Amino acid sequence: MRANSLLTTAVVSCLLLSIPPASAHPASHLSGAADPPAAESSGTSVNIIHVNPLQIERDLRDYDTAIVFYYVDYCPVCAQLRPVYAKASYLLQQQQLDETLNGETSSTRRVLAAVNCGANARSCIRTGVTRVPLFKRFRNGGRISEVLRYPRVNAQMLLAAVNA
């Protein structure tokens, strides 16, 4: 069984490391390797923090709940999910603003984060990310579950997951 696990890790490592970065794909409409998912051209501002997979617990420990989107720029499915994730971030911002305006000061700190496994392939593999796209839920910096799988993901589902 351990041999199968090592073989799987080796295959995933080869796959993640052998595919050229997004800059090698001139037709790519996605942002650069270090950029988190961006909003569609609607002009909406999103607040998605970009984290290093090896420092994720430290980066997220100040948040009660976080959903982390693991992606690579050259993945077509990831490209389809980027605007969905940006919309979820926008909805979360609006929800937090509404709570503040209504005097409902929530002590729960929630955030959406992203990890570009194309730019951090070895780090993603070391932290157990073997495929993308992937969404994981963290509480106080510690991973608690895998959240959603494509193709069922939509912005409202992501918002519900970060509010859970």
Q: Within a domain: residue 25?
A: no
> Is 38 domain-assigned?
yes
The pLDDT tens digits for 11-44 are: 333 334 333 333 333 222 233 334 444 443 344 4
**Model's pTM, two decimal places?**
0.69
Handedness of CA 99, 100, 102, 107 (dihedral sign): positive
Which CATH number covers residue 127? 3.40.30.10
Q: Is residue 156 part of a domain?
A: yes
Average pLDDT over residues 105-124: 87
Based on the number of CB atoms within 10 Å of its own CB, is 38 exposed (0-12), middle (13-18) or buried (19 or more)? middle
Model pLDDT, residue 150: 67
Residue 26 lies in a domain: no
What percent of the chain has a predicted confidence (pLDDT) above 70?
A: 67
Which residue did the predictor score with more confidence, 45 or 6? 45
Q: Which domain holds residue 108?
A: 2-20+32-163
Count structural domains, the chain. 1
* Residue 49 to residue 141: CA distance in whole angstroms: 14
Assigned domain for 62 exists: yes
What residue spans of the chain are helical by DSSP H? 2-18, 56-60, 76-101, 121-126, 155-163
Q: Is residue 139 part of a domain?
A: yes
Q: What is the pLDDT of residues 62-78, one digit of tens each?
A: 888 899 999 999 999 99
